[in-house]
Structures are given as structure tokens and as C-alpha cells.
Structure 1
Amino acid sequence: MTWDFAVRMTDIAIIVATFFGPIFAVRTQRKLDEEKALRTAKEKVFNMLMATRATWLAPGRVEALNSIPIVFYGQDRGLVAINQAWRDLLHLFEHANSPQWQGEAKAWEAERLKLDTALLRAIGSYLGFEFPELDIKTLHYFPVGLGDRISDEEAIRRGLAAILAGKSPLPVMNVVPDPIFNELAALRASLAKVLDGAQPLSVRLEEDGVSDAAVPKPAPDSR
């Protein structure tokens, strides 16, 4: 009996495709879905960092920075560069109160902006977004009103924390009208003199409808 080798190879290919094709298809689709989800996560972190680059204390930005070691994990050259830029920025944050930066607020802010820009450019380059350094530093919208609101909220937060911690007294404003306040002050001063014996207390006695004020009277003329 003779075998048709070409036919047998075709049959084997059909059998393999029938049984293993769906498995390969499922695994391939799963791999594509995982890569897509990871790409979406990377873009979400990058979008948050870019959107909040003018307000670097925003909670969303802090969360995005803390997500970098997980979202951008890997040994690819681009991922290694991103993580190194992130470590440099984190090191600056951790040593903000070190003697090196005492009294150097402007220099520290300049260094933060430099490292932050380097991180954004590294992530953007990895994702295929090329932005000039100057654009990342300066091309963003930050209205004056927002800056004033942030400053006011920070002042309120610090002041209230100091009061609740007992480090600062609670300011109280006098809302009594000036004339009434002055009268009360004069009355308080007079009462204090009477109680100290520095000033006699005037008393009015009334008897048979005739009133006599017990007040100092001039001595009779002895001439």
C-alpha cells in the first residue's frame, strides 16, 4: 500500500489547526489585551503628570508618581531611563529639608522643575510623544486666581492646625460699637478705683420725700 505524503501532511495540518488553533487564538488575544491595558495604564499616568505639571502638589500627581515603579516596570532601555529619572526626582523630595537646601527655596524649585521635566520627557519619548523641554516647562495654563485660592487654602490649613494644636491663640475681634465700649471701659475703671479705695462711692439717701446725696460738701465758712 502506498501513502500520499502530501495528503497526510495536509490532514495533519488540519487536525493541528482544528485542535490547537482556538488555543493559540485565545492566548494571542489575551496577550494583546494585556499589552493594551498596560499601554492604557502608562498613558493614564503620563496624562496625569502632564495635566498637573503646574500644580505639583496635586493629589492626583502624587498618586501618578507613586505608580511609576509598577506601571513602568521592566528592563527595557526606555523603562530603565524612566525609573532612573523617577528615582532622581524622589531623592530630591526626600532631601528637601536637608542642610543642603536650607534657605535655598528657589534653587530647590529650579532643580525640581529640571528633574520633573526630564521625567516627563523620558515617559513621553517611551510612549511616542516628543515634547521640547521648553514646552513642558512653560506651556501650561495656571490662572492667577487658582494660585491665590491655593495660597489661601494653605494659609487657612496651617492657621487652623496651629490653633487646634495650641500653638497659636484664636484671634477675637471686638464687635462692640466704640461709644458703648468706651462707656464700659470708663465704668470698669471707676469701679476698680472704688474697690481699691482710691475713689469714694456716692450714696443718695431719701427720707420723707427729701433726698440728700452723701457726697463730699464744702466745709462751712468759719470766718
Structure 2
Amino acid sequence: MNEQPLLAHLIELRTRLVRALLGLLIVFLGLFHWSGDIYHLLAKPLMDVLPAGSRMIATDVTAPFFVPLKVTMLVAFLISLPHTLYQVWAFVAPALYTHEKRLVLPLVVASVVLFFVGMSFAYFLVFPIVFHFMSSVTPSGVSMMTDIDKYLSFVLGMFIAFGVTFEVPVVVILLTKMGVVSVATLRQGRPYVIVASFVIAAIVTPPDVLSQTMLAVPLWLLYEAGIVMSVFLGKPIKRDDSEAEQA
């Protein structure tokens, strides 16, 4: 590792932050014209199950403008995320040992991919099923008219819940490779993880058994996948003394 003065670190940090924000801004400005279409795409899972002629509503005067804007900003953030992570990596990498770089970089890439997979799982599988269920249990004479701001809050919460859930294998692998826990300990904790999965699902999802199960089961299976991958990757990493002497 190369030691640098504090001022040099601060200047480098400022440069990386500015570049990351510029990347986000450029993508956002490029998508701004299609903000309405982007929100329509986000609302499609719900709109597909509503009765013909039904619409979503806006109870806030500024919501028709700001809600699509928020969605566009979210999409811009996701699109520019690889560039943002590169800036983070460029700032952090010089301070890491070689063996740490070999561990961190694949885990960061895997984390991003799994988060996107979790969001896709929620959008393409969970949302249609949950919204169809909600629509089917709506009492007769009641129109299901959702406010666009509340809908955005709901889907963002679900995206985060499923995105974080799909990070479980990365967390398990990181804990085992760093020697915090052993594979044997993870196996012994399996019953507690199953119970905790359903408890977490009950907290972060709507109060229906269907959506809770669709979060809890993947959470448990991903925990099992993390154990399998930990066994495949082998023993925990050890700090190289030669690298420590060079630091």
C-alpha cells in the first residue's frame, strides 16, 4: 500500500465524488424526456390487473411532476451504478492488500448483479402475483385506485427488500472467508435462519401470506446457496505477512 498525505486523500475523494455525481446527472438528463414513460413502465404490473378503464390517482398537486422525476432519478442511479462503483473502487483499491483485492472486487460485482436480480424478481414475478391477489380480494363496490406517490413508496420498499435479500449469499461468503463464522456454524443456525426469514418477511412486506412467503423462501434458499458457495471457495483467507511488512 502507498501512504499519501491526508490532503491528497481528500482531494482524491472529492474528485471521485464529482465524477460519480456527473455520471448520474448525465444519465438523468438523458432520461428526463421519457420520465412519464418510465413511470408507466414501473406502474405496469399494477395497471395490468386493474379493471379496464381504471387509473391511478394523484392526491398531491405536485405529485404528477415529482413522482415520475423520482422514478427517473432512481433509474438513472441504477444505470450509472457501475460507473459510481468504479469511482469508489478507484479510491479504495490503493489502500487494499492484494488478497483483499482478490476478495473484494468479485464480491462487489456479485453484489450489484444480485441486487439487480432481486429487483427483477420483485418486478416480474412478485408484483404481478401480489397485485392480482389484492385486486381479487377487493370488496364488491370498491374501486382500487392507488395514489401514485404511495405506489412509488411501496415498490421502492419492495425493491430494496428483495434487492437486499438477494445479497445474502455475498454476506455469507464474506463472513466465512474473513473467518468470522464457520460453515459448520452456519449449518447449525439453519433452523433459526428459517424462522428469521419469515419474521423479516412479515415486517418488510404487505400483510398477506403470499408476498411474505415469496420473500421468506428465497431468503432461506439464498442462505443455503451461500453455504454451498462457501464450501466451494474453501478456507478463510489469511493475511500475508509480507504484504503487512510492506504496508
Q: TM-score range by the shorter chain?
A: under 0.3
TM-score between both structures, scaled by the size of structure 2: 0.23
Structure number with higher relative contact order (C-alpha < 8 Å, ≥ 6 residues apart): 2
Point out the structure with max Rg over C-alpha.
Answer: 1
**Greater percentage in helix:** 2
**Greater percentage in strand:** 1
